[in-house]
Structure formats: C-alpha cells, structure tokens
Amino acid sequence: MKKVTVKKDYGQKETYEQWNGKFLDDSAYDELIVATEDIGIMKPGVSLDGSDVPLAYVITNAYPNDNIRNTLATIEDTSTMRANCAGPIDKNDMEAKGLVEGTDYKLRTPNSYYVMTKNGKWGMIAYSNEIHSVMIGYKRGRFTGAIGVSGWVKENPDKWESLQEIAIWNENAFEKANPDIYNSQRSYVELSVKPEYRVGEGIFTTLSANRYHVGQSAKMAAHVDSGDTDAGLTTMCVFREGDYDGAYLAFPRYGVAIDAPDNSVIIADSNQIHGVTPISGNGQRFSCVAYCDRRLATVGVAGKREKLIGKYAEKETASLEGFFAK
C-alpha cells in the first residue's frame, strides 16, 4: 500500500478552538491528497514503539456491488439535531424563515437554539441548522438512557435491512488497511457490546448517512466524533454521482484534505477535528459513516450497564421497590 506522511501539526487545542463548529474553507488545509489507489496517510512522528501513527487510510474499489450505493441514494432525510456538524446559526437565514431572535428563538450555543413554545416558554430541545445527515442504527436514548434502534430504523425497516451489508465491506476495508487496529477494535466490541446492538453483528453499532450537493447540505462543519471509541478508527464509504469538485474530508490540525474516489472506504481517526469542505458542480456525494459508539458498551470490563435516567429511572426504582416489598 502506498504511504504518505503529513508534514505539519498545528496542534490539537489550537485547531479545535479555531475550527470547531465552523465551516471549513481552503485555509483549513495546505495539502490535498487525491486518492487513486489504496493509500495510508500517517501523522508526523512515530509511536513509542517506532511505528507509524495513522491519520487515515483510503481503500479503493471497496464494494463489489451497488446495493449500498442504491440504498443511500434513496435516503433524503435531514436532521436538526447535529449542532456542530451543521454549522453556525445565521441570523439572516433565521429571519428568512420568519424567525426573530429573542422572540421566536434564542441561541443555546453558536450552533444551536431553543424555540418559543405555544405556552410562551422556551422549549427544552435545542435545534441546529438542517443538514442532510441521519443517524441510523443503535443509540442510547437522550432522555431515557435506554438502548434501542433509532427512529429512522423503525420507519425504514427494509432500508435498514439492506444497510447491514455495510458491516461486511467496511470491515473488510478496515482489516486490509490496518489489521492490528482492526483486531483490537473487534476484540473490544466482542467483549463489551452485545451482538444485538451491532450492525450485522459486526464491529459497528451505528451509521450516519450523509449527502452533499449544491442544493442542500453542501458541506459539514468541523467537529470531533465524541461517541467513537478512543483507540479505534472510524470507517466511511464514499460514492460519487455526476461531476463535482470539493467535498473533501479535511483535518485542519494536520493541514491535509482527502479527495476520495467513487466506491471507496475511508478509515480515519475521528477523534481529530475534521469536516467536509464545500461541494461545487452538478454532482453529489453519498457517504455513510460506520462506527462503534462506546456508550453502547454495557458488558465486560470496559462496559457500563444500561442505566435509565430521569423519570424512567424513577419508574424502574419504584417497580423494584414494589417487587421486594411483596
């Protein structure tokens, strides 16, 4: 496999403060790597044992059929729950929607806001800009603490079934790119995450289907994937349609951006701040991130048991007290 080592490191803290939650432009990277073959992209320096430290890999010709491509092309869902990824709230854009700051909404963070409810109080749920990205698979409930499938899965069981194939091909690409890290992540998942919480009973628990095109969601703001496993890598399949430029996966800390070819899988360190640069032209890019959400690790030494929260925990406690009182 071809290997390149990035030359710069602008610092984790510095680049996070500069770019987190903001849209990336050409100043976010110095070097564009156009992947035309399998390639490993290494961080500057080496680990304690002298080995290279991977930032990302690109594995080409990763999928033998169009099953996943065709399914992703049918997913048109958007989300208003991805604050950092969706970018800063623009006051002018909100006014264009008929929403006035201080009356109809108030900012929670630069990237999220609360809306005024019918009873004249601010709502409890913070919203983001709309982005063509949807979370698919298993998750821990924000308000309940319970683990279950996402709402999208319940509404799209046939598409969910077809997406199980991602577990096969993304895993194959991961193992090809770095067998040692792949085997380490597989061991962690097998010991810590119940099979029923995994996509295809593989090493991933959750997917994020994204679409980039000029008409809507042309870019994704810089962010860190906080739910991913600390020591592992995240995978993302990429499919291209039509002619376009941009939509590069950029890592500002290392001043590098990756232009992935059609039918490829990127395996990357998503604990580094990253985002997708603006797309231009008439085409679109479909991608699907497949990762292991460490919050779903509930068994073994590394696991934390599933624990309900809030009023749901109160119900659980009450039922147990009632049981033991009998």
- The domain ranges of the chain are 2-78+134-296, 88-127
pLDDT at 324: 39
Question: What residue has token string 């799209």?
Answer: 156
* Digit-coded pLDDT (tens) for 168-198: 999 999 999 999 999 999 999 999 999 999 9
Q: What is the rounded CA–CA span in Å between residue 197 and residue 303?
A: 13
With 80 as the cut, is the pLDDT of residue 11 above it? yes
**Count of CB atoms within 10 A of residue 52's CB?**
16
Q: Which two tokens stand for residue 134?
A: 């949807």
pLDDT at 301: 66
pLDDT at 309: 52
* Digit-coded pLDDT (tens) for 274-314: 999 999 999 999 999 999 998 898 888 666 666 655 554 55
- Judge contact between 237 and 62, C-beta under 8 A: yes
Angstrom CA distances, 7 to 31, 86, 254, stand at: 9, 29, 8
pLDDT at 294: 87
Q: Which two tokens stand for residue 227?
A: 């739910």
Confidence of residue 325 (pLDDT cuts 50, 70, 90): very low
At a CB cut-off of 8 Å and minimum separation 6, what does 27 contact?
Answer: none
Cross-strand pairs, 42: 5, 54
Which amino acid appears at position 72 of this protein?
Answer: L
Confidence of residue 318 (pLDDT cuts 50, 70, 90): very low
Instruction: Write down the pTM of the prediction.
Output: 0.90
Angstrom CA distances, 188 to 115, 278, 294, 296, 313, stand at: 41, 35, 10, 12, 28
Q: What is the rounded CA–CA span in Å between residue 11 and residue 146?
A: 37
Closest CA to 207 of 228, 193, 186, 223: 228
With 50 as the cut, is the pLDDT of residue 3 above it? yes
For 173-194, letters b (16+ CB in 10 Å) and e give bbbbbbeebbeebbebbeebbb
Q: What is the rounded CA–CA span in Å between residue 69 and residue 262?
A: 10
CATH architecture for the domain at 2-78+134-296: 4-Layer Sandwich (3.60)
- Judge contact between 77 and 216, C-beta under 8 A: no
At a CB cut-off of 8 Å and minimum separation 6, what does 29 contact?
Answer: 248, 250, 251, 252, 255, 256, 257
